[in-house]
Amino acid sequence: MAAHFLKNRHMLGWVQATPLTLVLLAFLIAPIVMIVIVSFWGATEFSIYPAFQFDNYEFLFSSPVTYRVFGNTLKYALITWALTLVIGFTVAYYLAFHIRSQTMQIALFLLCTIPFWTSNIIRMISWIPFLGRNGIANQTLISWGVIDEPLEWLLYSDFSVILAFVHLYTLFMVVPIFNTMMRIDRSLLEAARDNGANGLQTLMHVIIPLTKPGIMIGTIFVVTLVMGDFITVRFMSGSQRANVGRLISNDIGLLQYPSAAATAVVLLGTVLIVIAILLRFVNIRKEL
């Protein structure tokens, strides 16, 4: 009887999982498989044709531009990750441990989400009149006597690209860290203080270790979003910088779909390697 019950329960689990499995196959696995297949096809100036050849990958790995662009993409991802981690951790720590009222926590958290009420492009473009040569930032610094002439590197530079990335993706770091911090047993903090630990020691030896799952989840969000982005680099660099997303976008614009697919496959592999390395530091499933 028990065996029959377990068998029916197992079959029920399979039935319940079938719709989700079909959705994942149709909208995740199938497109990725198609991209991998197309990456081996050939292309002319006017058409593409089915084939099984490594020309796209050979051209990709033999071009020095590829390594510069991937290096640029990793640079953006690393700097953006470091800045969003510092800002996100600080904001989450303040909300979780310094705001006692749950109502105030919710209100301040919603305040952080206000920029997401508009599209990424609008939020990004809003920096242009602020950072431009005759923008608010330069005019303010000149009026204060801090500088004598406008700073050219504020806009259409790596600085403006990273600033936009940090503005766009910091919330993706705040949310998982805040969620993890709210689950920390406050009696552990009391025990640390009772044993003579100061604020810094409590932070380093209690809060940060217990917040690692949230930090890793936020890191995965930020790194994958930055590495796959292309529109931010295009707008905020004035088309003077490039990343892998822009490389793929340019190939698609030239109807070179096999080349774009090959670059996308390499980018996907790079992102998966980065995620695998991150997951070596913490078992998210075990610690959540």
Q: In what helix (H) or strand (E) does residue 42 lie, and over which residues does it extend?
A: strand 42-43
Does residue 15 belong to any structural domain of this protein? no
Does residue 262 belong to any structural domain of this protein? yes
Strand partners, 265: none
8 A C-beta contact, residue 238 and residue 156: yes
Does residue 66 belong to any structural domain of this protein? yes
Does residue 116 belong to any structural domain of this protein? yes
Does residue 25 belong to any structural domain of this protein? no
Closest CA to 73 of 247, 220, 216, 217: 247
CATH number of the domain bearing residue 252: 1.10.3720.10
Round to whole Å and give the CA distance between 39 and 222.
27
Q: What is the pLDDT along the chain (288 residues), one digit of tens a residue?
A: 545 544 555 555 566 667 888 888 888 889 999 999 999 998 887 788 898 899 999 999 999 999 999 999 999 999 999 999 999 999 999 988 888 778 888 888 888 888 777 788 888 888 888 888 888 888 998 888 888 888 888 888 899 999 999 999 999 999 999 999 988 888 888 888 888 888 888 888 889 988 998 999 999 999 999 998 888 988 888 878 888 988 898 888 888 999 999 999 999 999 999 888 888 877 766 555
Q: In what helix (H) or strand (E) does residue 48 lie, and over which residues does it extend?
A: strand 48-49
Round to whole Å and give the CA distance between 218 and 215.
5
Does residue 282 belong to any structural domain of this protein? yes
* 3-state SS, residue 254: coil
How many of the other CB atoms lie within 10 Å of CB of 244?
25
Its domain, for residue 128, covers 39-287
Round to whole Å and give the CA distance between 157 and 164.
11
Domain count within the chain: 1
Structure tokens at 137: 């930032």
Round to whole Å and give the CA distance between 287 and 280.
13
Exposure string over 66-89, b if 16+ CB within 10 A, otherwise e? beebbebbbebbebbbebbbeebb
Does residue 165 belong to any structural domain of this protein? yes
Record the pTM.
0.86
Does residue 104 belong to any structural domain of this protein? yes
Long-range contacts of 118-123 (CB under 8 A, 24+ apart): 120/168, 120/231, 120/232, 121/231, 121/235, 123/167, 123/168
* 3-state SS, residue 20: helix
